[in-house]
Structure 1
Amino acid sequence: MPREQNHPIRLGLIGCGGIVQKSHLQGLLDIPDLVNISAIADPIPENRNRIGTAADIISEQRYEDHRHMLARAELDAVIIATPHHLHAEHVIEAAQAGVAIISEKPMATSLKEADQLLDAVKKHNVPYAIVHNFLYTPGTAEALRLLREENTGTRQTGRALSLFGKTEDQADPNSVWRASRAAGGGCIGDSAYHEIYLIETMIGSPVRYVEARVHTKFFDFDVDDVAFLLFEHENGAISTVSTSWGMPAGDQSICEVYTRTHGIRIVGRGRELRYLDKSNRRWQPVDLDHGLDNDALSRAGHANYFAATLKALADGKPPPITAEHARHNLSIIHAAHQATTQRKAVDVTEL
């Protein structure tokens, strides 16, 4: 059973790079009643100094090596925000240290690593959560409320799309770890990951069968830059996910579901929301009334996710996004690669 944590939770950060600087930090600083950033770790001095200064961390609690932080700092929990290929290693080390763990996605780069990670979490009896931040944006939250509370009917189909136009510099594996297989990069695990959990949650039923084509078409690197996925859900609904780093469509991102009478479309991963009544065939914008400026809106998913997850940990309750969610999403990605090789649908429950 989860155990109650100190109030506020004493938090350590493993990794202080771009995602922490742009999205994590301000959301954490906004909930001082729930969390206090007590220590940080990053091998890059500039990252340590930037976050350390912003979070007012004393020099003794700014570590180059996260293992030293885990051994010396008084912590209740850590957030892991490192390159994908390090997630499993860092989670296992944090579990051995006996702290609660919140990890950026994906949980690992393979199902074998994922299962080793889960064994360590179970052995050391520590809470483990994965960051599915776009479930917590204003548009997504309102879309899920509408689907839950309004008489929209049974969800039949869905579609998610995330198309980006990366430059050659942004796709250079020598300087961008997301463009390197060794670091766990690739568009399906980095970008489509979000659309997978979004469309599954919007449909309201787990993905069972996966058909897909995952390829490299636009850049000279060893990871995928285009992924087209077709899902059949447990309830019989069907949906698609399309993602690419080489298809500049104004950085277009949508996630939409349809019933026989209505449609609901999330735009910009929850920055906007639209509603369709098929009787008049017109999409209408939904007033989200969040009162956030553009900067705060861009961070809202992480901020709301951390608030919900840290509140659950503080109260000794399971986190909202669990290890089971994390492994299931990774299984879908693994199934997509397998379906590409075999050129046939893959049953996720067999992985």
Structure 2
Amino acid sequence: MSAGAGGAPEAGLTLRERLEGWLALIGPMAMIAALLLLMAALEPARYFRLSNFDIILKDAALYMPMAMAMTIVIVTRGIDLSIGSVAALTAIVMGYMLKSYGFPWWVAVPLAIALGALCGLINGLIITKLRVPDLIGTLAMDLAYRGLALVLAKGIVLSRFPDEIVAIGRGQIPGFLPIPVVIGLSTIVMGYFIYTRTRLGRYAVAIGSNPEAAELTGVPVNRYKIYVYVLMGAMAGLAGVMLAGKLNAVQATSAPFFNLHVIAAVVVGGTSLFGGRGSMLGSLAGVLLLAMMINALVTLRIEFFWQSVASGAVIILSVAFYTWLQMKDRDGQGGLLAALRTPENRRLGRFILTILAIVAALFALGWLFAGETSAVR
């Protein structure tokens, strides 16, 4: 018995099926190799410095705990869009406990993680007991948690935390890895164990594959979905602590794109948004890929806002690719070109070309009849 790409154990599979199981890891690793080749051609001196790789690892470490938990959430056909606000809220609370009430750091840090778990518990109860869809429930709670953080912070930036907090975010073990990287990799190892060796992992796969069938076989679906969201909240709380330590400051508007970045990393790593299949090692590779990609954009002096464009494009392309693979296995399609040549897709292609032609024609009319211009301020 073996495990494919950080997933559940596999048995009785052919060599081709086993290789397909590792596609979740091979895909992002191939993209990492392509990115390294591109940067070797464009900016080798700046990108391949040891100090730059240290920055990449520390940036990736911040997302590793959340990627671990998000993998299990998505495997159960769930989603959590509130993690950025949970991270900001827990960091704000921790900051106040440290700065205003004199809590020792070894109490404030577990308190922040426990508060994140409480937020996850609230999410889980809303989804399972109030029957609110995961997407809507966590989106609404994202607004609620962010509002609470804004109310608590009152526009103040909390900074200058104890050295122990700063060490969690950007410290270094002499002669070894940075402390946040050790923390991040430890959560990935913990997630791998949970996913492949515990009842929570097995039930997560069962729930994601077919929740109705899982319930009929005696799996307490609602209870285990709550457990998964509690884990997600706790890891978001840990990420909030790491963020506060990394910046040595925190404000209520921190971590605005955590959800997009984490979901992108998990999806790139081969976890299916339709549930039932995930990969911890793939999620780790996805986190590293996105950290390297964003660092490459910065190295090439490309505007910050293109990072969001890149993350969104990665999500779309990854989901499309893995969905096509599933359809190919199910329907026996000959290949991508064969799929595009179907009559239905040809009609759709003509419709797309028509829309693009209309947009291009309107732009041409605008240029043709353009009047005087004024500077944009």
Q: TM-score, normalised by structure 1?
A: 0.25
Indicate the structure with greater strand content: 1
Indicate the structure with greater helix content: 2
Larger gyration radius, structure 1 or structure 2: 2
Task: Name the structure, 1 or 2, with higher relative contact order (CA <8 Å, separation 6+).
Answer: 2
Q: TM-score, normalised by structure 2?
A: 0.24
